Amino acid sequence: MQLSLSTGCLYLLPLRTACSRAAEAGFDAIELVMAPEAWLRGATWAQRVADDHGLAIATVHQSILGRSPEGDGPRRAIDAARFARELGVPTVVIHGTFAHAWDDDKAIEWLAALDEAQDILAGSSTRLALENHGLRVPSDGQGVLAGIEHLLAFCRARDLDITFDTCHAGSFGLNLTEALDAVAPRLADVHLCDIVPCTRGPRSATWRYSASQHRIPGQGDLDLAAFLVQLGQRDYGGPVTVEVTPFALRVWSRRYTVSKLRQIAQFVRAYTDAGSPEAVAPPEPVSVA
C-alpha cells in the first residue's frame, strides 16, 4: 500500500514545493492533479521533480479547473490520460457525469470523451478509474452515476476501475465499510478525507458542501479508523491518497502543513496496520502557530 498525497491539497503551490512537503511528511507518492505548470513543463519534468524527492507518481487526476488544453469539462480526462500514458502511471482518476439521463447532451458529451480517453490508453497498462460522486445538492442524488450500484454496473460494462472517495460516500450517508465491500473488486485508488459540520458562512448548499468536505482524516464525522482497518485486512495494494483542501492544511504555513501531513500519515499507517480500531490510540491534535 502506498501513502500518496494529492497535489490538489497544495494546488496553490508549485509542484516542487508540494513534493518537498509530501516527502518531508513521510509520504511515499503523489497523485498528480493536472495543472497549468504540468501542461507547460510536461511529463518528463513532472517525473523528474517527483524523483528528486524520492516520490512515486501513483496516479494522475484530471484537472480540477474547468478546462484543460484538450477542452472544457469532460475533455479534461483526455488530457490526463495522455499525460499518464507518457509517464507509465497505472491509474488515471476521472470524474463522471452529473447528468440525470444517458440521453442528456451532457452525458453524451461525457461518454464521447470517455471513449477517446480509453482509445488513448488502449494497449498500455494505464487504466481509467472513475471516482464516486459526492452529494453537493439534493438533485445530485438523481444522477445516472449517483448510487454505488449504478457506478459499479457502469464500470463493469465499460471495464473501468474505481477511485473510492470517502467523503463523497459519506455525503450520501453510506456506511464506508459496506461500500468498500461493494467496490473492492474494482478498487484502484482510495481518496481519504473526512466530513465536518458546516456551521458558519453563507447558507447556500454549494458553500456548505465546500466547507464541510475534504477535511483532515480522523477529525470529522466519518469512521475512517474502521475503514482503514478493513482496508489493511483486505491486503489492498493500491494507493491511499490523502485529498484535503488547501485551507484545511493552511498551505501558507510550511510548518503547519508538514506537521498536519505527518499526523495524517501516522493516522493512516497506524490503522491500516492494526487488527481493530480499538488497538490504536487517537493521534494528538497538532498545534502549530
- Give the structural domain span for 127: 2-279
- The answer to the question of residue 285 being in a domain is no
Cell numbers 458562512: residue: 201
What confidence tens digit (pLDDT) does each residue in 100-154 have? 999 999 999 999 999 999 999 999 999 999 999 988 777 777 889 998 999 999 9
- The answer to the question of residue 288 being in a domain is no
Kind plus residue range of the DSSP H or E element containing 240: strand 239-242
Whole-structure pTM value: 0.91
Percent of residues, the chain, with pLDDT higher than 90: 74
Low-confidence residues of the chain: pLDDT under 70: 198-212, 279, 281-289
- The answer to the question of residue 53 being in a domain is yes
- The answer to the question of residue 143 being in a domain is yes
- The answer to the question of residue 289 being in a domain is no
Q: Which residue, 29, 83, 85, is CA-closest to 58?
A: 29
- The answer to the question of residue 85 being in a domain is yes
CATH number of the domain that residue 80 is part of: 3.20.20.150
**Which pLDDT value is given to residue 289?**
44
- The answer to the question of residue 284 being in a domain is no
Number of domains the chain is built from: 1
**Which pLDDT value is given to residue 283?**
54
DSSP string over 56-104: EEEEEE--SSSEETTEEGGGHHHHHHHHHHHHT-SEEEEE----SSTTS
- The answer to the question of residue 287 being in a domain is no
Using DSSP, state whether 190 is helix, strand or coil: strand
